[in-house]
């Protein structure tokens, strides 16, 4: 029997229908369940067959519980010794937990930032020499090449610093885990062991090391500049522009310029005499 036998339109969630006889009621719900399961889910609590099935299931569940209660609680097997507790802790931590909490990539951004900053200072030093005229344009190219040759060594030093710090933090986590393993092995026989507090403490320690890594890495950097700029001036060769400190404007002007000594009360240099040589 179809739904249309009880209703002249397709059922929807916007209305409810109560047949006028119990036979029609059951037939209606059966038809809805077969033709429109989604809609049936919204009205099944009114279906007499569904109600009867639920009551029967509840009675069966109550009977099963009563039988289980009469027989007593099911026996449970508790951990039987320290080795069980130790295994539970190791399983909860997982192998290589130190590298999981402090991965190899943790230091990458800090190393790159330090390298970029150090090179930036060295490049700025070159640019300032160029502006002051103590370095020629060709000398600038030579100075940059000199910095390029240092870049690999500087990065190696930074990697060594960060690696040492990372390994130290991982070693600290291992030591903490070993202390917790020792505590787990002290669990009395037959006592239930929960590794969760130990795991949480170790995870929190790892997060603390990761969060403070950047500050500790920066604090470990050697004092001064990472790139050596002491020889960059000589890399440019001789400087010929007037800003060169070896340039003497007083001699260039034939002694007509003031040396500044006369402004301080000192006698000015004697005027140079012209000499005529007859050949």
* 238 pLDDT tier (thresholds 50, 70, 90): very low
Higher pLDDT, residue 243 or 205: 205
Give residue-wise pLDDT tens across range 43-95: 888 888 888 888 888 888 877 777 766 555 554 545 567 899 999 999 999 99
pLDDT of residue 58: 81
Contact 187, 85 (CB under 8 A): yes
Report the percentage of the chain scoring pLDDT > 70: 70
Asked if pLDDT for residue 120 goes beyond 60, the answer is yes
Report the percentage of the chain scoring pLDDT > 90: 37
Q: Give CA–CA dist 55/234, Å, rounded.
A: 98
* 255 pLDDT tier (thresholds 50, 70, 90): very low
pLDDT of residue 90: 95
């Amino acid at each position: 029997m179809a739904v249309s036998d009880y209703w002249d339109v397709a059922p929807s969630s916007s209305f409810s229908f109560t047949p006028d006889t119990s036979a029609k009621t059951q037939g209606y719900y059966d038809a809805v369940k077969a033709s429109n399961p989604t809609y049936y889910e919204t009205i099944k609590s009114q279906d007499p067959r569904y109600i009867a099935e639920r009551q029967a299931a509840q009675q069966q569940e109550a009977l099963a519980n009563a039988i289980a209660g009469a027989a007593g609680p099911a026996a449970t097997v508790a951990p039987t010794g320290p080795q069980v507790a130790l295994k539970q802790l190791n399983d909860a931590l997982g192998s290589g937990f130190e590298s999981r909490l402090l991965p190899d990539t943790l230091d990458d951004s800090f190393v790159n930032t330090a390298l970029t900053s150090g090179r930036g200072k060295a490049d700025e030093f070159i640019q300032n020499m160029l502006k002051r005229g103590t370095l020629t344009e060709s000398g600038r190219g030579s100075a940059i090449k000199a910095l390029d040759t240092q870049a690999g060594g500087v990065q190696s030093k930074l990697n060594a610093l960060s690696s040492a710090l990372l390994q130290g933090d991982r070693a600290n986590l291992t030591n903490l885990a070993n202390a917790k393993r020792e505590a787990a092995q002290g669990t009395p026989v037959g006592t239930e062991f929960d590794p969760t507090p130990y795991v949480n403490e170790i995870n929190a320690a790892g997060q603390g090391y990761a969060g403070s890594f950047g500050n500790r890495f920066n604090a470990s950097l050697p004092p001064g500049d990472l790139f050596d700029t002491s020889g960059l001036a000589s890399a440019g060769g001789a400087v010929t522009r007037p800003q060169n400190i070896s340039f003497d404007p007083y001699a260039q002007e034939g002694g007509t310029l003031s040396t500044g000594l006369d402004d301080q009360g000192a006698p000015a240099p004697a005027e140079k005499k012209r000499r005529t040589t007859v050949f």
